[in-house]
Amino acid sequence: MRVLVIGATGLLGKVLMEEWVEDTCTGVGAEHVDICDTSQVSSLFETTRPDWTVLTAAYTDVDGCERDRDRAFQVNCCGAVNVAREAARANSNLLFVSTDYVFDGSKGSPYETGDAVCPISVYGRSKAEAERLIRDILPECCVVRTAWLFGAIGRCFPNKILELSESQKRLRVVADQVGTPTFNRDLARTIVRLVRSGAKGIVHATNTGPCSWYEFAREILRVGGHADVSVEAIRTEDMPRPAPRPKYSVLSSVSLRQYQLQMRPWRDALKEYFDDRAAVLSKPAPFAAKVAKVNLLSGNSEEVQ
């Protein structure tokens, strides 16, 4: 099976390239192809002719999206639609990675795949609109919603907490936003299995166990051996951000279990995260050689994965 990963240099794409070992897998990042450029996307599909396409590329800076709505929709929606159209022309199946931010957080119990979307941020709206348009183009595609993604390489909450702990001994972290942290390797392994199962429709895929950002931070510091760093629980209002966040965005695992899949608790995944982090700090990342050198120009910035 020929697989194309678009977004192979991002937080998820990097480990997806490492975990995908049993198929012919080609990966491209923002430096190889600009998904907003229809001609580049068309050339990419003509070159690779994939049986499956996995689209992880996105503009993931939530506050940046709020400040620049046009860019958010250009990348997250228009770019995704370009990929879906070319996948349809190439008769390629598509798996699109989406987000818990398509929900407003008012439910108070885990969101099911059939719950109505109601995003409250520009980022969430751009992804929700992409979901709708992609499914119009490819009704049989798979949309995988995930949440609070973290991994050893890239911008994510644990890396920021550990960075701050080197210079600050007292951190203030929001305690009234609840979700489910998701380790990038666990999500990558799940995506591989979903593709091999021929998954269709919407699937929610996160590690299990809800928590607040405050609880997440405390566990990161505990497992990381930073007992000298204290964490103060604060309200969302105490730390204003440009983009609103859902207060509760836990995703139900019912849809994932339909494929006989279950992701482990996020607390259990933290040990592997720290192992990955130690390996990254000691030697160059091994995924780089697997990312294809596609002869296409890129117009995307480094913030687009």
List the catalytic residues: 123
What does the block give as tokens for 16? 């997806």
Sequence-distant (6+) residues with CB within 8 A of 4 are 25, 26, 27, 28, 44, 45, 48, 50, 52, 53, 54, 92
Provide the 8-state DSSP code for 115: S
E strand spans, 71-184: 93-99, 142-146, 149-150, 170-174, 178-179, 182-183
- The torsion defined by the Cα of 13, 265, 202 and 256, in degrees rounded to 10, comes to 120
**Residue 169 CB: number of other CB atoms within 10 A?**
10
**Residue 212 CB: number of other CB atoms within 10 A?**
18
d(CA 83, CA 78): 9
* Beta pairing partners, 292: none
Helix axes of 266-282 and 157-165: crossing angle, nearest 10 degrees: 60
3-state secondary structure of 32: coil
